[in-house]
Amino acid sequence: MFISDVLPEQKEKIQQLEIQDFDLKIFYKKLKNGSKKSYIFLTKSPKETFRKLKKDCEIIKAAGGLVESANGNFLFIFRNKKWDLPKGKLEDDENMKDAAVREVEEECGIKVLKREGKLCKTYHVYPLGTKMVIKKTNWYKMTVKGEPKLVPQKEEGIDKAVWLHKNQVAPVVINTYPSIMDVLKAGNVIA
């Protein structure tokens, strides 16, 4: 789903939505599982439209990292039958930058050498009980010393963690979330 003041360039058809009387919970329930269809709120004020959408949602803040090894490879995890990047919710009194490093280290069993600037932020929506949640994730570029052995955090549902070079990310690109594609583009891993 897009919220924009201009129609984005895309190959697939995009269905326009109207914010008046829009109910995110009803819309989400009607979506088919794994739907690849695109929707847009085309509006003169995208920020105001986003404010209206999120007013009935619980906001969860999270942070994660796009980690590059000294060999130029990138860290990916496989969780819930999809390729992903390490990320997680903020703990009480924790800032985004610290949460991003903590989550990467916990989920992959490594030590972050350097956390660089913020790459981007992403949003995704999901139901939690009777509420709708919007998870806002800040993404940071990170580096590690060498290319450490990865230890996936099984209790977080991570089946595997791997280092991949840019020219090896094809399996990730065909089986990941749209928000992860945004992070990979922001980090210049994909075009």
* pLDDT (0 to 100) of residue 10: 67
Q: Kindly report the backbone phi and psi dihedral angles of residue 125, in degrees, each rounded to the nearest multiple of 5, phi listed first.
A: -115, 140
In this structure, the dihedral spanned by the alpha carbons of residues 149, 154, 155 and 158, taken in order and rounded to 10 degrees, is: 90
pLDDT at residue number 38 = 82
Burial group, residue 177, by CB count within 10 angstroms (0-12, 13-18, 19+) = middle
Q: What is the pLDDT of residue 11?
A: 62
Confidence of residue 35 (pLDDT cuts 50, 70, 90): low
- Residues 3-18: tens digit of each pLDDT: 999 987 766 788 899 9
Q: For residue 161, give the 3-state DSSP assignment.
A: strand
DSSP labels, 96-128:
HHHHHHHHHHHHHT---SEEEEEEEEEEEEEEE
d(CA 178, CA 19): 22
72: buried, middle or exposed (CB in 10 Å: 19+, 13-18, 0-12)?
exposed
Q: What is the mean pLDDT of residues 28-43?
A: 80
Q: Phi and psi for 30 in degrees, rounded to 5?
A: -80, -20
Q: pTM here?
A: 0.89
Q: What are the structural domains of the chain?
A: 2-55 (no CATH), 58-186 (3.90.79.10)
Question: What are the pLDDT digits (tens) for 138-185?
Answer: 999 999 999 999 999 999 999 999 999 999 999 999 999 989 999 999
The answer to whether residues 54 and 22 touch, using CB atoms and an 8 Å cutoff, is no
Query: pLDDT, tens digit, for every residue of 39-77?
Result: 899 999 999 999 999 988 999 999 999 999 999 999 999
Q: What is the pLDDT of residue 181?
A: 94
In sign, the C-alpha dihedral spanning 16, 20, 25, 29 is negative
